[in-house]
Amino acid sequence: MNGASPPQFEFLCALSVDVGEIISMGSAPLGERRVVPIVGGTFEGPQVRGEVLSGGADWQVVRRDGVLDLDARYALREARGGLIEVRSQGYRHGPPEVLSALARGEVVDPARYFFRTVMRFESGAEELSWLNRTIAVATAERHARRVELQAWRLL
């Protein structure tokens, strides 16, 4: 052990991301390719708050082992006007019956499935420049037309 302390986290923000219909691109060598449009939403935390802009998307692969491999890119407009690019990659997986219920848009207890992402940010706004050095880990819940995330900044 090199004496480094274990990672610590600080709450960054809660995001409520509105999503459109899943667009299946069909089966590919690694699984079913899909894209989910990001159409709006909000975010709020101790240092930032604002809106999720439409125009982003979550590019997904439903892997043959049942894991949903997520790669989302979208933009936020912070209340002071600054823009933030978000890159979020992660996994969602769980028992087949739970994933089927989520696919049907049913309400499912988030404790019944794993949904986590790693988030990175970029902003040209001076007051948000600290985000350019931030990595966050988020827990997430899938709803019929919305994804709820709780993002925690890695210190």
- Give me the amino acid identity at 11: F
pLDDT, average across residues 53-57: 98
pLDDT, average across residues 15-33: 95
DSSP 102: H
Q: What is the pLDDT of residue 41?
A: 98
Residue 153 has pLDDT above 70, yes or no: yes
Residue 92 has pLDDT above 70, yes or no: yes
pLDDT in tens, 94-124: 999 999 999 898 999 999 999 999 999 999 9
Model-level pTM?
A: 0.93
Q: What is the pLDDT of residue 78?
A: 98
Q: What is the pLDDT of residue 68?
A: 96
Beta carbons of 74 and 53 less than 8 angstroms apart: yes
Which residues, 6 or more positions from 135, have their beta carbon under 8 angstroms from its beta carbon? 118, 119, 120, 153, 154
Q: What is the pLDDT of residue 4?
A: 85
Which residues, 6 or more positions from 19, have their beta carbon under 8 angstroms from its beta carbon? 36, 37, 38, 39, 58, 145, 146, 147
Residue 1 has pLDDT above 70, yes or no: no
